[in-house]
């Protein structure tokens, strides 16, 4: 009887199946403890950004983060009360500078990129509304943009934290 069981376990196809099943089980068990890294913006950062003007709309965009995981970007439409797009960008940048944000890069009348000196990995991209195509926005934000009265004072603010 022992001889039959040993021979049965020694068959190449059976041994291969047992090993494959054992490896699969190990991978499955190990994988259950791993979940993708999700990078979300801290609520204190969002409060900081919301304070620079009147928030007309807000949405969330999920994307793949560099190096794996999921990066959640908060997209806000904010009216800062500027007389034109450059004035609006300047106002937003100045208000954020008072809250420890520094300009990394900018293009006059188009956009400004900032980084927080307070919150690690926190970034803001601010775009003048006229520098972007309406098809780049969710339906929710597109409705806000179409209904806006003073388009020159409106900025699109993307906030993300890596």
What's the CATH code of the domain at 80? Answer: 3.30.530
Q: What global pTM score does this model have?
A: 0.73
State whether 27 and 49 are in the same domain.
Answer: no
State whether 142 and 75 are in the same domain.
Answer: yes
Mapped onto helix, strand or coil, the DSSP state of residue 14 is: helix
Per residue of the chain (162 residues), give pLDDT as tens.
445 555 545 555 665 565 655 565 545 444 555 556 778 899 999 999 999 999 999 999 888 777 778 888 999 999 999 999 899 999 999 999 999 999 999 998 899 999 999 999 999 999 998 767 666 778 888 888 877 777 778 899 999 998
Number of domains comprising the chain: 2
State whether 19 and 61 are in the same domain.
Answer: no
27 is in which domain, residue-wise?
2-32
Q: What is the DSSP string of 16-55?
A: HHHHHHHHHHHHHHHHHT----EE---HHHHHHHHTTSEE
State whether 23 and 64 are in the same domain.
Answer: no
**Residue 162 near residue 69 (C-beta atoms within 8 A):** no
């Amino acid at each position: 009887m022992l001889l039959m069981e040993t021979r049965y376990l020694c068959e190449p196809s059976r041994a291969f199946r047992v090993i494959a099943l054992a490896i699969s089980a190990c991978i499955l068990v190990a994988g259950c403890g791993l979940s993708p890294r999700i990078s979300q913006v801290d609520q204190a950062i969002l409060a900081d950004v919301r304070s620079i003007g009147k928030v007309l709309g807000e949405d969330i965009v999920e994307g793949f983060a560099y190096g794996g995981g999921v990066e959640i970007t908060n997209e806000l439409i904010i009216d800062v009360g500027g007389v034109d797009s450059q004035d609006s960008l300047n106002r937003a940048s100045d208000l954020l500078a008072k809250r420890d944000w520094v300009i990394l890069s900018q293009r006059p009348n188009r956009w400004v990129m900032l980084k927080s000196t307070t919150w690690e990995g926190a970034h803001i991209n601010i775009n003048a509304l006229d520098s972007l195509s309406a098809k780049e926005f969710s339906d929710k934000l597109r409705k806000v943009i179409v209904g806006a009265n003073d388009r020159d004072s409106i900025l699109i603010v993307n906030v993300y934290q890596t």
